[in-house]
């Protein structure tokens, strides 16, 4: 079945991978700057502008996937304002534009950051309460709420996907920082090898998005997405090191230091690195028969290989 799909943020990490992987559909994309995916129609659109809600594409579309968003900015003074403009206002403008161009389904790529993960052991499923602890998470949750209200008014199906940290090439965010650190051959320090982290590979996320595109149930929903197999922080670093072909030392620190750091101002940072974050995707597995088999460890290794090729 061929479906006309428009991808906002098509020059970003997730958007670009969607454009390269879902060419079974008729794709078009948009971003703030012209990109170089020449085989698809591309539009330069500033989704933060209210005028973008009436932007007319050359042809009507069936589905819009909103990947437009801001996750990292170096200037903390404008962090809150930028997050809400780009992650919340832009999403609302994109939804209105989707309706204006005939779309019946709108897929919002949100984030697991809408939950409170600032605990030593965190388990997230469809019954978990949203309680974001960052500007980014707050802006993503605000976008979801506004989209839910507006989609009801417009009569458009809204599917919100909240993915775990996405792994793929090019690595980004904290994974990119860790990869750069390990690429210098520096040692990695850890407290134990058994903490639990849920991740999702970019291929697994795209396979889910395709199932949502093809789904005919016409039912708005919120989907929490991660690969079923989990990984520890130690294993993340180890597989990145393997991909980099570096002989990094892995040094185990004493547990009393972990206890001291948890009581210090570094508590939040220590949790983000060494705490547990387990995510259940059972609802998606049941509703969409989605069982991603993509190997997280192999994806980390290959992504690290690509990183070192680009930087050497």
Domains of the chain: which residue ranges? Answer: 4-168+200-228+278-294
pLDDT tens digits for 17-73?
999 998 889 999 998 877 655 578 889 998 888 889 999 999 999 999 999 877 655
User: In the CATH hierarchy, which fold is given to the domain comprising 4-168+200-228+278-294?
Assistant: Rossmann fold (3.40.50)
Angle at 80 between CA 79 and CA 81, to 5 degrees: 95
Distance (Å, rounded) from C-alpha 184 to C-alpha 163? 30
The residue-averaged pLDDT of 209-221 equals 89
pLDDT of res. 36: 58
Q: How far is CA 76 from CA 115, 135, 192, 249, in A?
A: 22, 10, 32, 34
- Residues 30, 34, 35, 39, Cα dihedral to 10°: 70
pLDDT tens digits for 152-189?
999 999 999 999 999 999 888 889 999 999 999 999 99
| 26 close to 2: Cβ distance less than 8 angstroms | yes
**Residue position matching structure tokens 């079974």:** 24
Distance (Å, rounded) from C-alpha 128 to C-alpha 91? 23
- Residue 75's pLDDT band, with cuts at 50, 70 and 90, is very low
Chain-wide mean pLDDT for the chain? 88
Distance (Å, rounded) from C-alpha 84 to C-alpha 86? 6
What is this structure's pTM? 0.91
């Amino acid at each position: 079945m061929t479906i006309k799909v428009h991808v906002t943020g098509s020059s970003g990490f997730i958007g670009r991978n969607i454009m390269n992987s879902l060419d079974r559909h008729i794709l078009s994309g948009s971003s703030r700057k012209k990109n170089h995916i020449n085989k698809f129609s591309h539009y330069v659109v500033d989704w933060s502008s209210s005028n973008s809600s009436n932007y007319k594409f050359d042809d009507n579309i069936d589905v819009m996937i909103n990947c437009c968003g801001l996750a990292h900015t170096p200037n903390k003074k404008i962090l809150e304002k930028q997050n809400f403009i780009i992650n919340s206002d832009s999403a609302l403008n994109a939804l209105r534009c989707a309706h204006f161009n005939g779309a019946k389904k709108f897929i919002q790529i949100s984030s697991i950051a809408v939950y409170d993960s600032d605990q030593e052991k965190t388990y997230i499923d469809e019954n978990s309460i949203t309680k974001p602890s960052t500007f980014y998470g707050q802006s993503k949750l605000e976008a979801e709420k506004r989209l839910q209200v507006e989609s009801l008014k417009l009569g458009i199906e809204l599917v919100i996907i909240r993915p775990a940290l996405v792994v793929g090439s090019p690595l980004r965010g904290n994974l990119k920082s860790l990869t750069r650190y390990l690429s210098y051959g520096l040692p990695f320090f850890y407290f134990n090898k058994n903490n639990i982290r849920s991740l999702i590979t970019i291929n697994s996320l795209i396979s889910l998005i395709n199932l949502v595109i093809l789904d005919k149930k016409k039912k708005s929903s919120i989907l929490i997405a991660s690969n079923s197999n989990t990984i520890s922080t130690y294993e993340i670093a180890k597989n990145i090191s393997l991909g980099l072909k570096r002989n990094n030392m892995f040094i185990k620190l004493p547990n009393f230091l972990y206890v001291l750091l948890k009581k210090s101002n570094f508590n939040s940072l220590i949790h983000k690195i060494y705490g547990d974050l387990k995510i259940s995707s059972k609802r998606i597995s049941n509703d969409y028969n989605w069982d991603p088999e993509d190997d997280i460890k192999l994806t980390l290794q290959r992504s690290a290989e690509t990183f070192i090729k680009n930087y050497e």
